[in-house]
Amino acid sequence: MLTALALSFPAGLCATDPTAPKVRPNIIVILADDIGYGDLSCYGAKLVQTPNLDRLASEGRRFSDAHSPAASCTPSRRALLTGRYSWRQPEGAHIAPGDEAITIKPGTFTLPEMLKRSGYKTGIVGKWHLGLGNEGGPDWNGEIKPSPLDLGFDHSFIMAATGDRVPTVYIEDRHVVGLDPADPIRVSYRAKIGDEPTGAEHPELLKLKHTHGHDMTIVNGVGRIGWMTGGRSARWTDEDMADTFTKKAVEFLEREKDRPFFLYFATHNIHVPRVPNPRHLGRSQCGTRGDAIVELDESVGALMATLERLKLVENTLVIFSSDNGGIMDDGYEDVGNFDHPCNGTLRGYKGSLFEGGHRVPFIARWPGRIQPGTVCPQLTDFADFLPTAAELSGAPVRSGIDGVSILPSLLGQTAGQQQRPYHYWEFYEQGGRRALRQGDWKAIIQPWDGNLELYDLANDIGETNNLATQRPEIAGRMRRLIDEAHRPDPNWKEPGRWPVQTTP
CA 90-95-98 angle, to 5 degrees, is 115
Question: Do the two domains 26-416 and 423-493 of this chain adopt the same fold?
Answer: no
Among candidate residues 231, 229, 230, 197, the one with its CA nearest the CA of residue 215: 197
Q: Would you state the pLDDT for residue 77?
A: 96
Which of 2-6, 124-128, 240-244, 395-399 is the least confident region? 2-6
Question: Hey, where are the domains in the chain?
Answer: 26-416, 423-493
- In this prediction, residues 202-215 reach a mean pLDDT of 97
In percent, the amount of the chain with pLDDT more than 70 equals: 90
The residue from 14, 42, 94, 129 that is catalytic is 129
Q: Is the pLDDT of residue 222 over 50?
A: yes
Cα distances from 56 to residues 343, 414, 471, in angstroms, run 20, 21, 41
- Tens of pLDDT, residue by residue over 335-379, are 888 899 999 999 999 999 999 999 999 999 999 999 999 999 999
Higher pLDDT, 7 or 126: 126
CATH 3.90.1300.10 fits 423-493, yes or no: no
Q: What is the DSSP letter of 100?
A: P
Q: Name the band, by pLDDT with cuts 50, 70 and 90, for residue 499.
A: very low
Which of 26-35, 58-67, 108-117, 487-496 is the least confident region? 487-496
Q: Are 273 and 234 in contact (CB under 8 A)?
A: no
Task: State the average pLDDT for the chain.
Answer: 92
Q: Is the pLDDT of residue 418 over 50?
A: yes
The 3 state secondary structure assigned to 152-203 is CCCEEEEECCCCCECCCEEEECCEECCCCCCCCCEEECCCCCCCCCECCCCH
Q: Is the pLDDT of residue 11 over 60?
A: no
- In this prediction, residues 410-422 reach a mean pLDDT of 95
Q: Name the band, by pLDDT with cuts 50, 70 and 90, for residue 490.
A: low
In percent, the amount of the chain with pLDDT more than 90 equals: 85
Q: Would you state the pLDDT for residue 336?
A: 82
- Tens of pLDDT, residue by residue over 30-56, are 999 999 999 999 999 999 999 999 999
Helix (H) or strand (E) holding 331: none
**Catalytic residue flag (residue 73):** yes
Q: Would you state the pLDDT for residue 65?
A: 99
Q: What pTM was estimated for this model as a whole?
A: 0.93
- In this prediction, residues 473-487 reach a mean pLDDT of 93
- In this prediction, residues 79-98 reach a mean pLDDT of 84
- In this prediction, residues 300-327 reach a mean pLDDT of 99
- In this prediction, residues 232-254 reach a mean pLDDT of 99
CA pair distance 325, 359, nearest whole angstrom: 6
Upper half-sphere CA count for residue 41 (Cβ side, 13 Å): 20
Q: Name the band, by pLDDT with cuts 50, 70 and 90, for residue 90.
A: low
Phi-psi category of residue 242: left, alpha or beta, with phi > 0 → left and psi -120 to 50 → alpha: alpha
Q: Is the pLDDT of residue 502 over 50?
A: no
The residue from 73, 286, 342, 376 that is catalytic is 73
Q: Name the band, by pLDDT with cuts 50, 70 and 90, for residue 488.
A: low
Q: What is the DSSP letter of 469?
A: T
**Exposed, middle or buried: residue 498 (CB in 10 Å: 0-12, 13-18, 19+)?**
middle
Query: If one looks up domain 26-416 in CATH, what number appears?
Result: 3.40.720.10
Q: Are 227 and 209 in contact (CB under 8 A)?
A: no
Higher pLDDT, 431 or 6: 431
Q: Would you state the pLDDT for residue 431?
A: 67
Q: Is the pLDDT of residue 401 over 60?
A: yes
Q: Are 78 and 104 in contact (CB under 8 A)?
A: yes
CA pair distance 340, 39, nearest whole angstrom: 8
Q: Would you state the pLDDT for residue 498?
A: 28
CA pair distance 324, 285, nearest whole angstrom: 23
Q: Name the band, by pLDDT with cuts 50, 70 and 90, for residue 6.
A: very low
Q: How many CB atoms lie within 10 A of CB 469?
A: 8
Q: Would you state the pLDDT for residue 430?
A: 62
**Catalytic residue flag (residue 129):** yes
